[in-house]
Amino acid sequence: MTPPTGRRRGPSKGDRREQAILETARELLARKPLAEITIDELAAGAEISRSSFYFYFDSKLAVVVALLHGLTGELIAGSGPWLDGTGPDEEALRSSLTGLATLWTSHGRLLAGALAAAPGCPPIAEWRATLRDAHVKRLAERIERDRAAGLAPDGPAPAILAGMIDDLRLATLAGTARNGAPSPGDLVDDLVVVELRMLYGDLPIRHSDE
């Protein structure tokens, strides 16, 4: 109860340092890939020695995990209308994808680096798996609903198809992060078309048995 201003118990020195490390990581990730960032740099950015870094985080990857968890909310936000709806609702799908794409343009390096480090770093792999499973589960349920209602054709098991869609999104987004993005808007449009086809595109031409 002895705060300088009215705020109770301002952030301790340690809290601020921790934030500084996180902030430094964000800045560095905007400039270069995760693999090229060293703990020295992280520590220097927060104006502490390298050994002090370990007081706050166990490793570089632990910083990444913290950053990642901060993104979880944004990653699933905006997909509700699409995932909870039914039928080929193009607009809902587009807005879900637009949100995702925007996030990738600002945090591509973090996401790409994390994904690359996932095998060999259980916490990251787990984070990814959780997120993937959540998306796949909801999308698979949507597929089942649509199929039961006769809105979507039969096809691969819902969970498999949903997984493929999740994979495709990631791969496509990761690809644009690597190369220059071929205009984010167009890419979303294309993804919308492709995902709708994967879900609803029945084959018009069945090869006649001779």
Partner DNA sequence: GAGCAGAGTCGACACGGTGTCGACTTTGTC
Partner DNA sequence: GACAAAGTCGACACCGTGTCGACTCTGCTC
| Residue 204 partner contact from a copy of itself, DNA, none using kind-dependent CB cut-offs of 5 to 8 Å | a copy of itself
**Shortest Å, Cβ 130 to DNA:** 23
Residues that bind a copy of itself (CB under 8 A): 33, 35-36, 87-90, 112, 116, 119-120, 151, 155-157, 160-161, 163-164, 167-168, 170-172, 175, 178, 182, 187, 189-191, 193-194, 196-198, 200-205, 207
CA distance 37 to 112: 14
Residues that bind DNA (CB under 7 A): 2, 12-15, 17, 38-40, 48-52, 54-55, 58-60
**Shortest Å, Cβ 174 to a copy of itself:** 8
| Residue 35 partner contact from a copy of itself, DNA, none using kind-dependent CB cut-offs of 5 to 8 Å | a copy of itself
User: Residue 207 CB: number of other CB atoms within 10 A?
Assistant: 6
**Shortest Å, Cβ 102 to a copy of itself:** 19
Per-position DSSP letters for 22-45, written without gaps between them: HHHHHHHHHHS-GGG--HHHHHHH
Mark out the alpha helices in the chain (DSSP H runs). 13-31, 39-45, 50-56, 60-76, 80-84, 90-117, 122-148, 158-178, 184-200
Q: Which helix (H) or strand (E) holds 88?
A: none
Sign of torsion over alpha carbons 107, 81, 138, 69: positive
| Residue 38 partner contact from DNA, a copy of itself, none using kind-dependent CB cut-offs of 5 to 8 Å | DNA
